[in-house]
Amino acid sequence: MMPRALPRPVELLLRSLAAAVLVLGVAHIGQRSIIQAWLPLICAGTRLAAADFTIRTAEIVDDDSGQRLRIDANLAMPIDFEGRTVNPFGWSAESPAGGYRISLSLPGLLQYSSLLLIIGIAWPWRDFREIMVRLLLCVPLMAALLMIEAPLTITAELWQLVGEQVDPQAGSAWMVASRFLMGGGGLLLAGLGAALAVGMGAKLAHRRRNRRGIPAMA
């Protein structure tokens, strides 16, 4: 397979803008259905990551800021945090009823997956076969990004709320990981995923052309 020349910056910019309009438009229309379909797996991943918590409810709600994923949770049992014991809400007659509530925007949960797909669509391809293979590869990578971001962010937010009961300045390893994602780590993972889909898509499409004796387009 002959290496192809890098796309011209202006061409790549225009392709990226067109892909962004398409992907973000579809994501905006379908974000509720997408997150709803993945909600059982998101909750399962959160239960694995946040084993000290019990997820009471997980639902998509509409508020003034748009559609959001709202999680209500509580500690499963008393825990030691920063040298102090933190009891679940309603654990005893002396402890108040209630729980921990966090709310995450649906566009925020899909941002890295959307970026991966935008890059995957925008980067030039040789023929229809290559872009179809690339898109098929993007799907599991996008799902993996969502399953990394959502449970990690939910777990970090829950531990942040627990920390605020003890020490507003307290942190956790989960919050560090969440800030890594928000500080550029998520963009890096999306870029790496897109590069993998582009590279593997080109290779698989090239092998299929060779088996069928179909010349590649320049």
**What is the DSSP annotation of 77-101?**
S-EEETTEEEPPTTSSTTSPS--EE
The answer to whether residue 82 is domain-embedded is no
Q: Which residue range(s) make up the domain with 169?
A: 9-51+106-212
Q: What is the pTM of this model?
A: 0.86
The answer to whether residue 204 is domain-embedded is yes
Percent of the chain with pLDDT over 70: 91
Query: If you ran DSSP here, which 8-state letter would residue 33 be given?
Result: H
Q: Which residues contact 55 (CB under 8 A, 6 or more apart)?
A: 43, 46, 47, 71, 72, 73
Gap between the Cα atoms of 141 and 135, Å rounded? 10
pLDDT in tens, 101-115: 999 999 999 999 999
pLDDT in tens, 27-55: 999 999 999 999 999 999 999 999 999 99
Determine the pLDDT at residue 217.
45
The answer to whether residue 21 is domain-embedded is yes
Write the Ramachandran bin of 213: left for phi over 0, alpha for psi from -120 to 50, otherwise beta. Answer: left
pLDDT in tens, 158-194: 999 998 887 766 667 788 888 888 889 999 999 999 9
The answer to whether residue 83 is domain-embedded is no
Tokens of 56: 């009471």
The answer to whether residue 185 is domain-embedded is yes
The answer to whether residue 146 is domain-embedded is yes
pLDDT in tens, 120-172: 999 998 888 889 999 999 999 999 999 999 999 999 999 999 988 877 666 67
Structural domains of the chain, count: 1
Find, among 149, 129, 127, 128, the residue nearest to 193 by Cα.
Answer: 149
The answer to whether residue 19 is domain-embedded is yes
The answer to whether residue 2 is domain-embedded is no
